[in-house]
Structure 1
Amino acid sequence: MTTESGTAQRTTWVRAALAYGLLGLVLLSLILSTPFVLAALAPASADWGKLSDISQAYGAVSVVLSAIALAGVALSLLYQVRQTRTSNEQAIRDSHFQLATLALSDPDLLLAWSPPIEPVPLKRHRQHLVTSLALGELLQRFRIGHLSVEKLAVKLDGHFRGKIAREQWEREGPGWRRTMEAGDRRDRVFVRLVDERYRAAVAAGPASALLEFQDRPDRPQSLRSQGSRAVND
């Protein structure tokens, strides 16, 4: 759903930028070619003083057309800058994801790339890293406009229902705050909203219980019974 929405949004921006850019080029061409057209069409005996008065009467129209043309060019440039930034951020996220995948596959690499702030079991450290990656994915979507503040708040409420997510923010929240506060406005809005929803989740009560696979309610009863017998054996 998010991918389709992002594609539709980019398509709309492309069409708008092309339309305004084309309109701007047409208007600029008309304005620049006006003296030559008048010189070609006007008879030799034409009263150029009178023609000058007429052209001045249309000066306001020329200003409006020029403003529209410049607006079209500016919109096109703005879109290009935004697309370049989005592409660069996506490339960084892809590189980060590849590093995380490599680290999660090897405990030695995990300690080398992302050592824990405090002693923690290896399994929990991996879980914290995955939770941090989930927050990074929300940050990326918020930066490029796929998530509004309201939608981000809903996502964060679900995120902090879990115990591991709360642990991760308790341990790594200060580092996130230092990094995000040094960023742009959207980064600061993001980290402050994360803090707000984390505090709200803690105030709402204990985190949701983690169920073992054999105890999951969506698993058939027969399989849960087999899993329980296997554990008891």
Structure 2
Amino acid sequence: MTTDGGRTQRTLRVRVVLAYGLVLLGLLALIISTPFVLAIVAPASADWGKLSDISQAYGAVSVLLSAIALAGVALSLIYQVRQARTSSEQAIRDSHLQLATLALSDPDLLQAWSPPVAPVSLKRHQQHLITSLALGELLQRFRIGHLSAEKLAVKLDGHFRGEIAREQWEREGSGWRATMGAGDRRDRVFVRLVDEQYQVAIAAGPARAAGAWVRDGSTRRRD
């Protein structure tokens, strides 16, 4: 279903492209009409050699203006393509989140989800799924530029402090590598950074046990 936000974005993109197109057409019309305008307004005694020199100089400027206008249209189209891709990725992400929420709400439905790579308890499988969704959220933010590589490393440092996150990556990391390896450059950078921070966390010492995050029935804040 198309949302109002999606329609608004498409309308804005169309208006931007039309605006650039009109500017380009106006510049082309001005360039083409220049000789005719000169022929009409120039007096009969005008030095056409001098006017020719002026016209040539103006022609160079007009070419530069046309090039700038074309570059503006090209940049606008590139921006629109990126925006469309981001919107599509977000829609896919939202759909995936809805399916995950549905699966987590019912153990019977969770069995229809991709099975774990190795036998694991239902609770642990749910925890791994949540951890995988957390990584997916970081991936989405990294793809659209909301997270730099440096900020992503900081997020992953906290992510891999817990044993569940480490378990999830140990079990499912190979699948992520295969999937991200078939993606674009940012996908490959993302999975490389995740691998690096996982190794850093392992070298730093044991993970914090899942039970250590909770005391007296209430969730404690992360350090």
For residue 213 of structure 2, give the secondary structure of its aligned residue in structure 1: coil
- Matched residue, 2:52: 52
Look up the equivalent residue of 1:208 and give its one-letter code.
R
2:191 corresponds to 1:191:
yes
Q: 1:28 touches 1:66 (CA, 8 Å); kept in 2?
A: yes
8 Å contact kept, 1:23–1:72 = no
Alignment of 1:33-182 (within 5 A): 33-43=33-43, 46=46, 48=48, 50-182=50-182
Distance 1:211 1:151, change over 3 A: closer
2 CA distance for matches of 1:195 and 1:201?
A: 10
State the distance in 2 between where 1:185 and 1:143 align.
10
TM-score w.r.t. the length of structure 2 is 0.81
Moved more, 199-208 or 64-73: 64-73
| Matched residue, 1:7 | none
Contact 2:143-2:186 at 8 Å conserved across structures: yes
**Residue 230 (structure 1) aligns with:** none
Secondary structure at the aligned position of 2:82 is classed as: helix
Could you tell me the percent identity over the aligned residues? 79
In structure 2, distance between residues paired with 1:213 and 1:27: 71
Structure 1 segments unaligned to the other structure (5+ residues): 1-9, 220-233
- Measured in 2, the distance between the counterparts of 1:215 and 1:106 equals 23
Q: Tell me by how many angstroms 1:70 deviates.
A: 1.2
In the TM superposition, what is the alpha-carbon distance from 1:192 to its structure 2 partner? 0.4
**Is residue 24–residue 73 contact of structure 1 (8 Å, CA) maintained in 2?**
no
- Mean alpha-carbon deviation: is it higher for 193-202 or for 32-41? 32-41
Alignment length (residue pairs): 204
In 2: Cα distance, 1:189 partner to 1:139 partner? 10
* Cα distance in structure 1, aligned partners of 2:165 and 2:151: 18
* TM-score with structure 1 setting the length: 0.78
Which segment is superposed worse, 47-56 or 180-189? 47-56
CA distance 1:218–1:180, shift in 2 (3 Å): closer
Is residue 138–residue 152 contact of structure 2 (8 Å, CA) maintained in 1? yes
Once the 2 structures are TM-superposed, how far is the Cα of residue 47 of structure 1 from its aligned partner?
A: 5.4
> How much is the aligned-residue C-alpha RMSD, in angstroms?
2.7
CA–CA separation in structure 1 for the residues paired with 2:75 and 2:27: 15
Which amino acid in 1 is paired with 2:213?
L
After TM superposition, list the pairs within 5 Å mapping 1:6-25 onto structure 2.
21=20, 24-25=23-24
Mean alpha-carbon deviation: is it higher for 58-67 or for 102-111?
A: 58-67
Unmatched 5+ stretches in structure 2:
1-8
Q: For residue 3 of structure 1, what is the aligned residue in structure 2? A: none
Residue 214 of structure 2 corresponds to 212
Structure 1 residues 24 and 205: CA distance shift in structure 2, 3 A: farther
**CA offset at residue 52 of structure 1?**
2.8
41-50 or 52-61, which deviates more: 41-50
Larger deviation: 59-68 or 116-125? Answer: 59-68
C-alpha contact (below 8 Å) 1:157/1:197 kept by paired residues = yes
